[in-house]
């Protein structure tokens, strides 16, 4: 299969690296979880050799971002907490360059990993949702993580334990280092108004129903498109496609074909430091996350989002001429109750098991 790695439909031959080594699976899993929005940065340790597990038993290890030392077996305390759910807020920002200081969190996905229910629930929040006097996608940059944290809990009933903030370049870098991801495109569609960031113009992009091996650029286009035809021209469908990319990346992470070689690991460390991926996760949480996802076969993956059953488009005149979304009856109660049902062990769901 060839990797589609430009914005439109041109394909180039892609070579997926071979090899199998468990320590490399840890590194690439952490790298993936960041780039696609799930996690990284503070979770990686400075390792230059080929024996990551041995490094864990040494007296001290340093986190990549802070340089602070952690005790040996840093995740032992978390391992004692049996079946503790982990809730991560994945924030994708519309930043094209690390030099940009003004940006919006246009992608907000709350990932809840519940080892008791054996479920991973992905909940997307629309960027135009009106909260605290403005659109939710501006809340992080204007008021900080605490305000966005509180808003996400009010909407979903789930309190995020940690957040991870990444941009376009982080996303593309990780997907490319995975050797691409095989995405099940559900609908054929064309978007004639996909933005060209460099020129502020537009280009036409198309996708065909079926399985496509996408590189970083192509995956980003698939995740960002909002003006497609055939029912794909909405934020709701954009959020759904982002979930498809996440699920495809999980499969790719655990494929024995998609493993970093030593040179790529060094590149990963350099990229993390230089790109300034932001997260409040620490080393303990990183390895607890690894302990959860290494048994990914047992989980059912469920995708959902805050849709028209719970929010509506109010008159623009009521919001200063802005097109926004607001909760029906001014409450998220029904959505929070719906989210609770997703974790019920006896409930039939439409989740996808990634075996």
180: which DSSP letter? -
Grouping H, G, I as helix, E, B as strand and the rest as coil, residue 339 is helix
Report the range of poorest mean pLDDT among 25-39, 122-136, 316-330.
25-39
Is the model's pLDDT at 326 over the cut of 80?
yes
CA atoms of 200 and 205, how far apart (whole Å): 16
Q: Tell me what percent of the residues of the chain surpass a pLDDT of 90.
A: 35
Percent of the chain predicted with pLDDT > 70: 61
Main-chain phi, psi angles of 3, to 5 degrees: -90, 125
pLDDT for res 293: 65
Among 351, 315, 269, smallest CA distance to 43 is for 269
Average pLDDT of the chain?
A: 73
Contact assessment for residue 45 and residue 283, using Cβ atoms and an 8 Å cutoff: yes
Q: What is the mean pLDDT of residues 311-338?
A: 95
Q: Is the pLDDT of residue 283 over 50?
A: yes
> How many CB atoms are closer than 10 A to CB 236?
16
User: CB count, 10 Å around CB of 256?
Assistant: 10
User: Does residue 34 or residue 104 have the better pLDDT?
Assistant: 104
* Domains, the chain, ordered by start: 21-178+254-353 (3.40.630.190)
Give me Rg for the CA atoms of the chain: 20
CA dihedral over 334, 115, 61, 55, signed as positive or negative: negative
pLDDT, position 215: 93
**Could you tell me the sign of the dihedral formed by the alpha carbons of 259, 71, 84, 36, in that order?**
negative
The 10s digit of each residue's pLDDT in 115-153 is 888 888 999 999 999 999 999 999 998 999 999 999 999
Q: Which pair of tokens denotes residue 215?
A: 């590189």
What's the pLDDT band for 211 if we cut at 50, 70, 90? very high
- pLDDT tens for 261-273 read 434 434 544 455 4
pLDDT of res. 152: 97
Gap between the Cα atoms of 66 and 148, Å rounded: 24
Count helices and strands (H / E) in the chain: 11, 19
């Amino acid at each position: 299969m060839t990797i589609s790695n430009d914005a439109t439909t041109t394909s180039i031959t892609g070579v997926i690296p071979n090899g199998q080594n468990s320590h490399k699976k840890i590194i690439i899993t952490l790298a993936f979880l960041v780039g696609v929005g799930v996690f990284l940065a503070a979770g990686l340790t400075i390792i230059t050799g080929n024996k990551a597990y041995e490094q864990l038993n040494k007296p001290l290890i340093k986190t990549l971002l802070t340089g602070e030392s952690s005790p040996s077996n840093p995740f032992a305390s978390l391992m004692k907490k049996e079946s503790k759910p982990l809730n991560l807020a994945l924030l994708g920002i519309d930043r094209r360059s690390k030099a940009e200081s003004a940006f919006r969190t246009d992608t907000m996905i709350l990932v809840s990993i519940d080892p008791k229910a054996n479920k991973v629930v992905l909940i997307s929040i629309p960027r135009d949702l009106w909260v605290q006097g403005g659109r939710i996608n501006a809340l992080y940059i204007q008021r900080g993580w605490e305000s966005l944290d509180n808003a996400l809990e009010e909407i979903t009933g789930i309190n995020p334990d940690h957040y991870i903030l990444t941009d376009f370049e982080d996303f593309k870098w990780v997907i490319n280092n995975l050797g691409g991801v095989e995405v099940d495109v559900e609908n054929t569609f064309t978007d004639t108004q996909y933005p060209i960031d460099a020129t502020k113009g537009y280009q036409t992009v198309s996708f065909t129903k079926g399985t496509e091996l996408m590189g970083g650029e192509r995956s980003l286009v698939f995740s960002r498109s909002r003006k497609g035809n055939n029912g794909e021209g909405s934020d709701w469908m954009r959020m759904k496609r982002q979930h498809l990319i996440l699920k495809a990346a999980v499969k790719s992470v655990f494929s024995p074909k998609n493993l970093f070689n030593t040179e790529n690991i060094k590149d990963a460390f350099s990229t993390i430091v230089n790109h300034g991926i932001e997260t409040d996760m620490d080393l303990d949480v990183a390895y607890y996350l690894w302990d959860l996802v290494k048994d990914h076969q047992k989980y059912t993956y469920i995708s959902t989002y805050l849709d028209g059953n719970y929010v509506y488009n109010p008159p623009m005149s009521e919001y200063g001429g802005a097109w926004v979304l607001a909760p029906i009856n001014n409450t998220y109660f029904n959505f929070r109750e719906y989210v609770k049902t997703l974790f019920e062990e006896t409930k039939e769901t439409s989740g996808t098991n990634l075996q």
